[in-house]
Chain A
Amino acid sequence: MSTDIGEFTDQEYKYGFTTDLDTDIVPRGLNEDVIRLISGKKNEPAWLLDWRLEAYRKWVKKPEPRWQNVHYDPIDYQDISYYAAPKPKKSLASLNEVDPEVRAMFDKLGISLAEQERLSGVTVAVDAVVDSVSVATTFKKKLAEVGVIFCSFSEAVQNHPDLVQKYLGSVVSNQDNFFAALNAAVFTDGSFCYIPKGVHCPMELSTYFRINAADTGQFERTLIIAEEGSYVSYLEGCTAPMRDKNQLHAAVVELVALEGAVIKYSTVQNWYPGDAQGRGGIYNFVTKRGLCAGANSKISWTQVETGSAITWKYPGVILQGDGSVGEFYSVALTANYQQADTGSKMVHLGKNTRSSIISKTVSADHGQSTYRGLVQIHDTAIGARNYTQCDSLLMGKDSGASTFPYIEVKHPSAKVEHEASTSKIGEDQLFYCRQRGIPEEEATIMIVNGFCREVFKTLPMEFAVEAQRLLSVSLEGSIG
């Protein structure tokens, strides 16, 4: 390439606007009283408050993890507001009652809160979460007809307490790790899905997360339970305004798949990444884990991570049921001064369990991407299989890419294969495209998109297009 990549302009972050919402916000700081206040505001049962307090007491004693390959100034956990909700949050009789400002904000984000079919003919039910709370959930009635529960976490606590109590913390406990414990103590909302036995969920479910208020953290919690033989495809999207100060997002996602159930979970993460000098942006410290509890169940994670200043997440699957399958497909892009330490954990316990991990990382400018993964074959996992492929693309002399797989095998019948490569974009490929009249920047984006295609094609159509577009936008200005 004739030109250096060092020169870059402000990348466009089209979701960087703020909306002037009247927000109910708790003063900064964290202590047991704040947790009681949050729990009280949400009218939670005593067991849940106790669970939160237990998490908080564990969290206070936990050291913040430092092993990850990312660098940031210490976070002052007393300088964050742990509850922010657009007012008024009373129960809405219909979607028409959603605050017009909120509705306008989602329109601007391209998310429709009206219950209409999209152009593509695909119906998507949306749970919209602003700052700490869910503001609207669409298509609830239609879903209820087939017994699917899709609502905000707060509603689930009120209306389906038995299910919540049974499964909350069953995959990610309230003391799993530093950020998961923090989340358990202060989580304010999130989405809840329950797919009854044998039901193929009739539409895509999606949650759209939006951070709007300043100086807050977002701590949502998602719980999806797929009963025997059921199927659900779930999508989540995330954006935040451009602010100079870093904001913390520490979410937890728990998935439970019972016998023969399939959960497909897709994320397009586009939190504000900070500016070209590395100021501001979201710290995205997330714990996502699925449990293939039943035989022949399947959990598939797809993530496209283009946003956030720092990403720290390892969506994993515990393959407990015999013959269960775990999949992880990931594209992680870091540009400007973004850092990502992400990968997957596949824990094989059951017989003939299979997992695959496909990770593509792209580092541009000063971006630093790390793949970190664990494949664990326990001595009970007879006939287990794993295939892992991690490819990294480097664009720019100040970018970096690391690959840190951990492979632990305790049964002789296991077959585990890991392959990784790191290189820059092929000069030959660029020249070939340019000889055909495709300018350098376009050619680069084309090749990068090709590099990520294996992952994109696992996304639902609409999201795949969105993911490609995001990648292009994020790379523009980093090339040429």
Chain B
Amino acid sequence: MSPNRATGLAQIALPEPAGQPTWLQRMRRSALDWVAENGFPGHDDEDWKYTRLGPLLAIPFELAQPIDSSLTASALDVLVGNCGGPRLVFVNGHFNPQLSSLTEIPKNIRATSLRTHLHQTEESGASRLFPPPQNSFVALNSAFSEDGAYIEVPPHTTVERPIHLVFVTDGPADAAPILASPRSVIIAEANSRLTVIESYVGLRPQVSLTNAFTQVILEAGANVEHYTLQNEPATAMHLGMLAVHQPAASEFSSYALSLGASLARQEIRVALAGEGAQTQLRGLYMPRGRQHHGHVTSIDHQAPGCTSRELYKGVLDGQSRGVFKGKVVVRPGADRTDANQSNKNLLLSEGAEIDTRPQLEILADDVKCTHGAAVGQLDEEAVFYLRSRGIGQKAARDMLTYAFVSEMLGLITIPELKTLIEHAVAQQLEADSTDDREKTLAGEIRSR
């Protein structure tokens, strides 16, 4: 290990504790100490192998402050969609009650700001919300997070409308680079059911880093559907960690979308800890220009009879880079494990790069595990077919690219969200430079 140490990020001081419980102050201090001791992942860290952190770590970030955002609720509807349920809005990692709509929250559901919850909680009750640090960025989040959402659904309760968490970065474009550290906790008690959407957006071309951490804790038989939609500005960087704990007969599904940011990485860790738990991870990344989108997942089959399904697709244009690492571990005794993983990528231009690593690590024998990865391009036969029917070269390619992506769009179960994402995806494809495409073509012709 050659951890990165002396960097801008590691030099940020802890802010004034401002009324925090002493246990929380102590915890933040020890998290920061952990970062100081362990540094940040270097290039020889398998989980970060293809993601160079050097430039990011050198940026002199300052902690993001709450500001009076010019944002309005109706502007938010356009930006992140309105799914008809409660909405909790955080600006620069701080809760913004004016933009939030809490009236929709069903009575017996607790959906509040994590800060409020922690200030009312004893240390013993909060210990599971702060697992011992294992990861520099999660530790950094523990040290600096100001707020996020706290959701708790009691047993046998179904939350009809999705709960929408919106994380906005905002501030003057010429301001110093800011670090926002939203942190959320979702607890679904036994046999409860709920959908949570996390949207990450930014208002201005300002240099920012969102270092998010979300924990989803399910109890037996609970069912949680989760979305992370990242569409931050091109000046932003985004690092997200989603940690999921699944006991017996629980069901979880996640959907990770990466559209924005210059450097974005979403990591998901799922522990299948109880018999018969089921998990489904889906993802779509569409970097272009010089964007870097990384997705790292790990599914840990600890108990027998669990099922996992994983499908990630990438469309890479311009000089962008995509990274996928999907690990499935089957522990001794986790018999009757059924795991299936697939990663498919479409490279649209010269200069784009994809690095993919599906991984199986199997220590039980009664299992059925498969994985597959593919990298390819549009089917030229199909392009020709469309052109022969009078569709132009670019339109034909866009149509086929969209067809590749549409499988992922079909998996979105919330109609309002689906429309919004379809629109965002179409925009991403459209914006992807006719001239880049022409260059590719020219390059191909030259090389023949």
Contacts and interface: CB of A to CB of B under 8 A. Distances in A.
A420 B372 contact: yes
A424 interface: yes
A400 B363 contact: yes
Contact of B357 (A392, A404, A412, A419): A404
A394 B357 contact: no
B348 A422 contact: no
A34 interface: no
A410 interface: yes
Interface in A414-441: 414-424
A419 B349 CA distance: 25
A417 B50 CA distance: 20
A412 B361 contact: no
Nearest to B345: A409
Interface stretch (B25-33, B374-382, B415-423): B374-382
Contacts of A396: 365
A412 B360 contact: no
A85 interface: no
Contacts of B364: 394, 397
Interface string A391-411: 010111111111111111111
Contact of B371 (A351, A409, A413, A420): A420
Contacts of A261: none
A126 interface: no
Interface string A69-110: 000000000000000000000000000000000000000000
A379 interface: yes
A405 B357 CA distance: 6
B353 A408 contact: yes
B119 to A, nearest CB: 45
B375 A403 contact: no
A422 B372 CA distance: 12
A382 B447 CA distance: 8
A427 to B, nearest CB: 10
Contacts of A413: 377, 444
A409 B369 CA distance: 25
A396 B353 CA distance: 40
Given A411-B350, A412-B348, A421 B370 contact: yes
Contact of B360 (A379, A401, A414): A401
B365 A416 contact: no
A397 B357 contact: no
A172 B203 CA distance: 53
Nearest to B330: A422
Contacts of B350: 379, 411-412
B377 A409 contact: no
B37 interface: no
A407 B355 contact: yes
Contacts of B372: 417-420
Given A418-B373, A423-B369, A400 B356 contact: no
A411 B353 CA distance: 7
Contacts of B351: 379
A75 B172 CA distance: 60
Contacts of A422: 360, 362, 367-370
Interface string B314-333: 00000000000000000011
Interface residues on A, range: 35 or more
Contacts of B373: 405, 407, 416-418
A404 B375 contact: no
A412 B365 contact: no
A347 to B, nearest CB: 14
Given A407-B373, A421-B370, A423-B369, A402 B353 contact: no
A417 B367 contact: no
A394 B362 contact: yes
B370 A415 contact: no
B428 interface: no
A412 B352 contact: yes
Most buried by A among B363, B364, B375: B375
Nearest to B353: A410
A423 B357 contact: no
Nearest to A364: B365
B362 A402 contact: yes
Contacts of A402: 359-362
Most buried by A among B332, B354, B440: B354
Contact of A394 (B333, B353, B367, B371): B367
Nearest to A396: B365
Contacts of B365: 394-397, 399, 424
A66 to B, nearest CB: 11
B209 interface: no
Contacts of B345: 409
Given A403-B371, A422-B369, A414 B357 contact: no
Most buried by A among B354, B356, B360, B371: B360
B355 A411 contact: no
A412 B349 contact: yes
A411 B347 contact: yes
Contacts of A399: 365
A409 B366 contact: no
B362 A416 contact: no
Given A405-B373, A415-B375, A400 B347 contact: no
A414 B368 contact: no
A125 to B, nearest CB: 42
B367 A418 contact: no
Contacts of B205: none
A409 B347 contact: yes
Nearest to A383: B447
Contacts of A400: 361-363
Contacts of A395: 365
Contacts of B359: 402-405
B358 interface: yes
A433 to B, nearest CB: 19
Given A412-B349, A418-B373, A423-B369, A392 B362 contact: yes
A377 B367 CA distance: 32
B316 to A, nearest CB: 8
A410 B322 CA distance: 11
Interface in B46-61: 50
Contact of B369 (A404, A405, A421): A421
Contact of A414 (B332, B333, B375, B440): B375
Contact of A420 (B370, B440, B447): B370
Given A399-B365, A400-B363, A420 B347 contact: no
Contacts of B369: 421-423
B347 to A, nearest CB: 4
Nearest to B354: A409
A418 B358 contact: yes
A394 B337 CA distance: 13
Most buried by B among A379, A412, A424: A412
A135 B24 CA distance: 74
12 contacts: A394-B367, A397-B364, A403-B358, A403-B371, A405-B359, A406-B355, A409-B355, A412-B348, A415-B375, A422-B368, A422-B370, A423-B369
Given A404-B359, A414-B375, A417-B373, 13 more contacts: A394-B362, A397-B332, A398-B332, A400-B361, A405-B359, A406-B355, A406-B357, A411-B347, A411-B350, A417-B375, A419-B372, A420-B372, A422-B367
Nearest 3 Cβ contacts at the A-B interface? A412-B347, A394-B365, A416-B375
